[in-house]
Structure 1
């Protein structure tokens, strides 16, 4: 069940991060202002909502059986980690402190950002499959 859950969450992630993210969210979610926190929260909320729909469809159409509490925890994890990573400073801090500082100026932050999101999705899918 893990691969199917991961694929569903990955599709939800792509939809939320690219097709459904507004310009305002993209431009403001990293700002340390009220507008920035609201943009980050709205964007993370989109991830939670779209992921919930994907999991619901997986249960309905694919017959996946997972516990509701595990799904709720996974969705909270997805929303929380997404909001944290997308504040951008965690990615910058990681790259600066792991020997990748020069790669930031060459577009590497976007790759590290997406890798962090995929790791979080993998943890959510594993937890749901295990519980």
Structure 2
């Protein structure tokens, strides 16, 4: 197993302490990268355009995948911020390349789906917290941080290229499912389905 450390790449498994340090280091790096990528680096154009179209826009004929370009562009700069932070933390905390690849793949894919905003609206509808003014922001951030926690576990535990590839494949399946869901929702809107039948 290849390990990224202060002295460069070395071969050898991470010890139990190394796994714990990799988890904590990855969580810190991914979290700081999240803050930078989701606020400082995100353009207003991306922030305004990355979401799933409203039902009114869908009914007017807007394609359900409108906004994915802005979303993916945002996720590119977001992942760049996380990669820089991971590279900085890896100078003092041993981490494996496959673990980092798995963590970044999961972080990017989950971030893209959450930033389409319909998962957040779904949670708000289920919680019935529509009167809470900041619910969109806090639920969005909670969903991102849960995913970052899982990504940090992957960073600490994944030690093979196969594991990294499986994490990336799972992320791509998640995006594929989101695209199918968005198309199905749009068909419901154009068919006149009741709002409760859509989300």
TM-score by length of 2: 0.59
Distance in 1 of aligned mates of 2:84 and 2:111: 17
Please say which of residues 44-53 and 18-27 is displaced more in the overlay: 44-53
Number of the residue aligned with 2:112: 83
How many residues were matched structurally? Answer: 127
Query: Is the aligned partner of 1:18 residue 2:49?
Result: no
Give 1:5 shift.
1.9
Decide whether the 8 Å contact of 2:99 with 2:157 is kept in 1. no
Which of 146, 167, 173 pairs up with 1:119?
146
Q: Is the 8 A contact 2:42 2:74 kept in 1?
A: yes
**Any unmatched runs of 5+ in structure 2?**
1-20, 54-62, 159-199
Partner of 2:127: 98
Q: Which has the higher strand share?
A: 2
Distance of 1:74 and 1:130 partners within structure 2: 10
Larger radius of gyration: 2
State the superposition RMSD in angstroms: 1.6
- 1:29 matches 2:50: yes
* 1:17 match: secondary structure: helix
CA distance in 2, matches of 1:126, 1:72: 12
* Pair 1:3 & 2:24 matched: yes
Runs of 4+ in 1 over 3 A off after TM superposition: 31-35
